[in-house]
Structure 1
Amino acid sequence: MKIFAASVLALGLSLAAISASQAMPVAPLDQAQAGSDNTIRVAGGCGPGWHRGPYGGCRPMFNCPPGWHSGPFGRRCFRNW
């Protein structure tokens, strides 16, 4: 009888905990949808003149003049041949 009472108590407490928790609360339906015109594009949080690299770090953007191209890893400008 003690095991039955303990299991009923555990089941009751677990059902009470499940009903009280909400992983994602329901939003009201009368809210306006947020459009894409409200978003502000940034350079991945790195700032002007920088971009995100392949591993998530901030790297400088090197813009080479006409007739030149960026080398490996974009750190130097090389003349086009």
Structure 2
Amino acid sequence: MKIKTYLIIIVILIIISLLILVKNYNENIVGGKGTDAIELNKEDMKICCKYTDEYGETKTCTILNDPRYDCKKLCSSRCII
């Protein structure tokens, strides 16, 4: 009886894992809403601020010049805005 129960549990787990595998295989990778048409050029970038890293080098925090992106949300960890 125990062997039969273990076999049934194993078969059910294999079926569930195969269903999850097929579901994940069939899904498309989503990179973000509407990002497929974005082309990155330097003219399309907005400089939010300049900051100094731990090695003393001056870096810039730049984001895409688009209303969907906000300097305060994306660069606040590096810069004082």
Shorter-chain TM-score bucket reads 0.3 to 0.5
TM-score by length of 1: 0.41
- Larger radius of gyration between Structure 1 and Structure 2: 1
- Higher relative CO (Cα under 8 Å, sequence separation at least 6) belongs to 2
